[in-house]
Amino acid sequence: MTDQRAGRILLSVQGFNPKKWHELLSAKRDVVIEPQGESDPSIDYAVVWKHTPGILGRLPNLKAIFSIGAGVDHIFADPNLPDVPIVRVVAGNLTQHMVDYVVWRVLDHQRQGMFYRSEQNKKRWREIAQPASPDVSVGILGLGELGQAAAKALKAVGFKVNGWTRTEKTIEGIETFSGEAGLTPFLNATDILVVLLPHTPATEGIVGYDLLSKLRRDNGLGGACLINAGRGKLQKEADILRALDDGTLKEASLDVFEEEPLATTSPLWTHPRVFVTPHAAATSDAHHLVPLMLEQMERFERGEPLQHLVDRKAGY
């Protein structure tokens, strides 16, 4: 007989194996993969990643939705999304993975990694200028939990760090810009652009040719560099390729793409100045995230407020 413990969970995920999530969640709660019938009043919580559209609308007693990943645009894509709290994942493990990725890619661009790998393939012994970190300005587009952590880590390494946010924000040691009026000055002061914005209707396609053309090219790196570890829908890949080919952009490190997995026919795979990773900058780890989700559920059932709630109006 099924264990009818409080707070039954629907686990609805696509794109990866849910086995470990199911195993860890079911150690404490009753977990189902599908609702029972057209309306299932037994489910209190949903843990999702790119869930089946419409499935959440079949849960009349749903109390909260938990996203497995940092992004929540996949939840808002559901036209029948119920009006319940949405909890985004905030975890030290996930944040550290993102910080590691950003620092790695920034250092690689600063130290001319793509050039030296190309020279190694040609067995050529040749040195080019590598500016010191204080002479390189890194701009973080998006100063949420991940953006702020990355900015502080880069500052600690020695880089000059700027940040842009939709609304005004003050961070010690970081020069911040905000709003439409602040975007161009921010870009003009940036040698390496790191994109960590959420995907919303307002940010979709923001990383296009016009934005890239405003980055600082006259610098010790030999041109502007792009790192996108945010969301794939933020970028226009045709514009990135155009910018690379005409010199507007020197190099790009891309972890996310408009459509995933990236098609084998995409020229990004073989472009000599593009570094591709398969949405691996900060992979959600069930061992770290499930205990945090279960703790939130327990707190909620004790009458305490949920933490890290998504602002439905803002979309993140």
Q: What's the number of CA atoms in the CB half-sphere (13 Å) around residue 284?
A: 25
Does residue 279 carry a catalytic annotation? yes
Cβ neighbours of residue 227 under 8 Å, at least 6 residues apart? 102, 105, 106, 109, 192, 193, 194, 195, 252, 253, 254
DSSP 54: T
Among 231, 287, 299, 302, the one annotated catalytic: 231
- Cβ–Cβ under 8 Å, residues 312 and 78: no
Cβ neighbours of residue 232 under 8 Å, at least 6 residues apart? 256, 257, 258, 259, 260, 279
> In the chain, what's the furthest Cα-to-Cα distance?
70
Residue type, position 274, single letter: V
Does residue 74 carry a catalytic annotation? no
Q: How far is C-alpha 143 from the geometric centre of its chain's CA atoms?
A: 12
DSSP 115: H
| Rounded Cα distance, 84 and 65, in Å | 7
- Cβ–Cβ under 8 Å, residues 286 and 21: yes
| Rounded Cα distance, 60 and 63, in Å | 9
| Rounded Cα distance, 154 and 177, in Å | 17
Cβ neighbours of residue 70 under 8 Å, at least 6 residues apart? 88, 89, 94, 98, 146, 282, 284
| Rounded Cα distance, 59 and 189, in Å | 49
Among 8, 97, 279, 287, the one annotated catalytic: 279
Q: Which two tokens stand for residue 37?
A: 């019938």
Active-site residues, by number, are: 231, 279
